[in-house]
Amino acid sequence: MVAVVALTACTSAVSSDDNDSGAIVTSGSGGGQGGATLVDVDAAGTEPGSASAEAQGKSVEVLSADAIVAAQEEVVNRIYETALPSVVQIRVTHKIGEESSSPDAPGSPELPFDFNRFRDMPGVPDEFFRRGSGTGFIWDEEGPIVTNHHVIDGADRITVIFSDRTEMDAKLLGSDPDSDLAVLQIDVSGAATQPVPLADSDAVKVGQMAAAIGNPFGQEFTITTGIISAVGRTIRSGNGAFSVPKVLQTDAPINPGNSGGPLLDRQGRVVGVNTQIIGRSGSSAGVGFAVPINAAKRVIPVVINEGAYKYAWLGISGSTLSPDVAELMDLPEHTNGILVIAASEDGPAQQADLRGSDRTVESEGIEYPVGGDVIVSINDFPTNEMDELISYLIDKTRPGDEVALEVIRDGERQSIKVNLGTRPIL
């Protein structure tokens, strides 16, 4: 009985969104609906007849299996119908000029055909086009549309299509390749601009419901559901050498065409912006990633106003100090921190005399870099892992700030002050 009650906690029968008791509390009496019965149970799900349940005197509706499925369907449909007016399909067109159409052009993908041999044929256009698609969503009442940087990167024309088939051109306001976010602007007089509500991604928990709305493989306005399968992931931006921290992982199917679309919670609020998948086939294998919406809250307003976002830059490459490396460096047991492997030439860290590894040591056939400074805190904030340093620099600092690093050098602790620079475009 208790298990059935717990399963119904996410249904629309809950008296309020803040009721996280694990039980569906009803205010009325009677035989229930849809094959459901009413039993006395406390807010913690205590079985009927217990002293606690009698003291609470509450009634809960225990749903049949069919009613539970129907309630879940109702939640998914509510998410879809609520968010749909805020979601857009994005179509992009890239001109393929004479140089870029060549398979030998630097940085261009290898093309299956040699288009150049057709150029002198009658009726063949001077330019060829490559088309792609993605997803976006309305950010606020002014009409900016948020999507992924990689969706619109290099596009010559961007078109957005609403669920009511309204179609219009959009212009790029700006983008941030390092977080894979971009902002488009449309003529708000030509379409209703209903922003989608935003959640707090720091409050997202593993196991909670997640829904993605997008245009997978061009199948417009498709919803897929799953759960948040992990939080706090760090992934490499698909557009550069820097990492994105606090990323959400989901098993809600995300496929090509979903990029830039919203990842939603059960209340229809955006918790993340879908960005990447892991899969050998190029389609969903149950491991998808979304840029946390709190990162978008920080980046998007700046991109709207300035066209780009500038990050503070320390200028090191490093890794979380492992027990094996700590032992090889004769550091005390349970020493935590970040081993500086290298400091970028003329970067802030090098200018502050932060030192990278000066040698490697082989152990069990593996070469380990050793000898560099070990960063144990930044501004008194412990940095036990590399992810923590990345998150602190992104969330708490701006270019030009001075930070105090506590490091271990040659077995001794010392403080080093660093004036942070601006992250370069790589």
The catalytic position among 259, 357, 377, 391 is 259
Active site residue 150: yes
Counting Cβ atoms within 10 Å, is residue 287 exposed (0-12), middle (13-18) or buried (19+)?
A: middle
Q: Which ranges in 86-218 belong to alpha helices (H)?
A: 149-152
- Please give the radius of gyration of the chain, using alpha carbons only, rounded to the nearest integer: 26
The β-bridge partners of 62 are 37
Alpha helices in 84-119 (DSSP H): none
Residue from 180, 251, 265, 373 carrying the catalytic annotation: 180
The 3-state DSSP composition of the chain as helix, strand, coil percent (nearest 5) reads: 20, 35, 45
- Among residues 150, 179, 201, 357, the one annotated as catalytic is 150
94 catalytic residue (yes or no): no
Residue type, 399: P
C-alpha 26/C-alpha 199 separation (Å) is 27
Angle (nearest 5°) at CA 152 between 296 and 178: 45
The answer to whether residues 273 and 179 touch, using CB atoms and an 8 Å cutoff, is no
Are the C-beta atoms of residues 263 and 273 closer than 8 Å to each other? yes
Q: Tokens in use for 46?
A: 């205590």
The answer for 286, left when phi > 0, alpha when psi is -120 to 50, beta otherwise, is left
Catalytic residue check, 149: no
Task: Fill in the amino acid letter for 405.
Answer: L
Where in the sequence numbering do the catalytic residues fall? 150, 180, 259
